[in-house]
Amino acid sequence: MISDGFIFDIKRYAIHDGPGIRTTVFLKGCPLRCWWCHNPEGISHANELMFFEYKCMHCRTCTHVCPVGAITFENNIQHINRQICNYCGICSEACPTGALMLVGRGITIEELMKEIEKGILFYDNSGGGVTFSGGEPLFQHQFLREALKECKKRDLHTVLDTSGYAPKDVFSSVLDYVDVFLYDLKLADDEEHKKYTGVSNNLIKDNLRMLVDVGRGNDVILRFPVIPGITDTEKNIDGLVEFVATLKGKGISEIDLLPFHDVSEKYNRLGKQYKMPISKAPSREKLKHIKERFEEIGLYVKI
């Protein structure tokens, strides 16, 4: 018996998360802490409260309904005391403008499959299917495996958007139910990987090697977040090119470059600290250069 899953979004008609038109399920919880994470609402495996300041009309309904007094106003500016908030969601339900939103909800396999089945016509007509993303979807591996199995029972194409950071046995246990892996590669140097993501890259490299060694290299699309001053350095590109070159000839043929974009606003809405020291996207020249470096080892590179 599988317990419920915990998700923060279901995106319909997604066209950038694998082939065709897809439904993308975002599972909550991730063991990594990447400085540039563009889905900070997916990091914690718990409810969170988002505040959209531009929607707030300062009616103070939230202050009156909050049972623990977590919301106050000072000089017409709202403050949420997240230390005492119990994430009951009463304020978000009462807010007349949608300025407060509780992020995260439990879902059963049956409920999830009903949502997924709504898109079957689009998947069939476009060669699409279902993508599991996050957070790190393998963080809830039991629920993920069950959902993948149910997709396969319905003959649906499945994509796993993963950091690759999961124990080997956990990673192995989903392979039979995944058609395509969107697999992140971030930093080649382990110390830098630890500094900017909070974890070692050994497991990530090992799982990728295992994937190609069992003959699944053709089903892997690498993804490289291009983060100015962090991942786009010549030293890191050298390291990644060298690593990926050892996997060439085992099926891996594509890498997608994901240019950094500033998401500080999302962090503000969650009351979280945004660690990125810069806000500028990588230049066109830099992306072209990185593209050429991966093309030199025979990869197809998409930006």
Question: Which residues make up the interface to ligand SF4 (CB under 6 A)?
Answer: 49, 56-62, 66, 68, 70-71, 80, 85-91, 95, 97, 99-100
Between helices 109-117 and 141-153, what is the axis angle to 10°? 40
CA neighbours within 13 Å on the CB side: how many for 185?
A: 28
Tell the smallest beta-carbon distance from residue 54 to ligand SF4 (Å).
10
24 three-class SS = strand
Cβ neighbours of residue 52 closer than 8 Å, sequence gap 6 or more: 98, 99, 100, 101, 269
Identify which of residues 25 and 80 has a Cβ nearer to ligand SF4 in the complex: 80
Identify which of residues 193 and 269 has a Cβ nearer to ligand SF4 in the complex: 269
- How many whole angstroms separate alpha carbon 275 and alpha carbon 33? 10
- How many whole angstroms separate alpha carbon 91 and alpha carbon 67? 9
Identify which of residues 60 and 152 has a Cβ nearer to ligand SF4 in the complex: 60
Tell the smallest beta-carbon distance from residue 67 to ligand SF4 (Å).
6
Residue type, 196: Y
Cβ neighbours of residue 238 closer than 8 Å, sequence gap 6 or more: 188
Tell the smallest beta-carbon distance from residue 87 to ligand SF4 (Å).
5
Tell the smallest beta-carbon distance from residue 260 to ligand SF4 (Å).
30
- How many whole angstroms separate alpha carbon 41 and alpha carbon 104? 8
Tell the smallest beta-carbon distance from residue 196 to ligand SF4 (Å).
31
Structure tokens at 137: 């979807």
Tell the smallest beta-carbon distance from residue 53 to ligand SF4 (Å).
9
- How many whole angstroms separate alpha carbon 22 and alpha carbon 5? 20
Identify which of residues 67 and 277 has a Cβ nearer to ligand SF4 in the complex: 67
Identify which of residues 70 and 257 has a Cβ nearer to ligand SF4 in the complex: 70
Identify which of residues 81 and 218 has a Cβ nearer to ligand SF4 in the complex: 81
- How many whole angstroms separate alpha carbon 217 and alpha carbon 251? 4
